[in-house]
Amino acid sequence: DPVTTPHILAILEREGVVATFFLVGNRAELYPQLVRSIAAGGHELGHHTFTHPRLDQMEAGQIRAELVQTTRVLKRVARKRVRWFRPPSGGFTETVLAMAHRAGLRTVFWSVDSRDWEGHPPDIVYQRVAAGVAPGLSSSCTARPELPEASGPPPRPCRISLPSSGPKAINR
């Protein structure tokens, strides 16, 4: 999203945080400079299909097309290898996992769903993540430009205090 992503990138840079951005291929194709800005900031690019469909409801040929199209777009636009794949809505089958693996992608999910895409106020999203995060868990936050409620103010930074043995940001 060309409106919120620059704000997110600025916050991450200010806080010294590197993140993984799971990108939808058709959006990456629309905003190639934004994808390059994400990569230039040292952030990792993740694969989130081409059109954001429910892969667990699709035939093998359709799944393959989603994976191939997005891989091509991200390689062409960012000139970086994409290693991570997150199926939209967490929907997967053994076929989805096998095809992603054959494409050289490692499939990841999330442990805490912020449900920020539902349009809740930032304080509610923060409380949901803070209540669910613990050592070894990850959270998923989104910037969904296709949803009308996503047109609100840019996100604010937040920090969730955890014990020193708590989670660390990883991009490996």
Q: Is residue 171 part of a domain?
A: no
Please tell me the predicted confidence (pLDDT) of residue 117. 75
Q: Is residue 170 part of a domain?
A: no
The 10s digit of each residue's pLDDT in 133-160 is: 765 545 455 444 433 333 344 444 444 4
Please tell me the predicted confidence (pLDDT) of residue 155. 45
The 10s digit of each residue's pLDDT in 26-59 is: 999 999 999 999 999 999 999 999 999 999 999 9
Please tell me the predicted confidence (pLDDT) of residue 1. 83
| Parent domain of 13 | 4-109
Backbone angles phi, psi at 35, to 5 degrees: -60, -45
Please tell me the predicted confidence (pLDDT) of residue 23. 95
Looking at the fold, whether 72 and 46 belong to one and the same domain comes out as yes
Q: Is residue 169 part of a domain?
A: no
Nearest-5° Cα angle at 137, 169 to 172: 40
Looking at the fold, whether 71 and 8 belong to one and the same domain comes out as yes
> Average pLDDT of 96-108?
93
Looking at the fold, whether 133 and 80 belong to one and the same domain comes out as no
Distance, CA of 53 to CA of 59 (rounded, Å): 12
> Average pLDDT of 80-85?
90
Cα of first residue to Cα of last residue in the chain, in angstroms, is 24
Looking at the fold, whether 48 and 132 belong to one and the same domain comes out as no
Q: Is 15 exposed, middle or buried (0-12, 13-18, 19+ CB in 10 A)?
A: exposed
Q: Is residue 52 part of a domain?
A: yes
For residue 77, is pLDDT > 90? yes
**From start to end of the chain, where are the E strands?**
20-23, 44-47, 84-85, 106-107, 112-113, 139-140
Looking at the fold, whether 20 and 43 belong to one and the same domain comes out as yes
Could you give the number of structural domains in the chain? 2
For residue 16, is pLDDT > 90? no
CATH of the domain at 10: 3.20.20.370
Please tell me the predicted confidence (pLDDT) of residue 165. 46
Please tell me the predicted confidence (pLDDT) of residue 171. 42
Looking at the fold, whether 73 and 125 belong to one and the same domain comes out as no
Looking at the fold, whether 68 and 79 belong to one and the same domain comes out as yes
The 10s digit of each residue's pLDDT in 104-130 is: 999 988 777 777 778 888 888 778 877
Please tell me the predicted confidence (pLDDT) of residue 129. 78
Largest pairwise CA distance in the chain: 46
Distance, CA of 6 to CA of 38 (rounded, Å): 9
Q: pTM of the predicted model, to two decimals?
A: 0.74
Looking at the fold, whether 68 and 127 belong to one and the same domain comes out as no
Please tell me the predicted confidence (pLDDT) of residue 124. 83
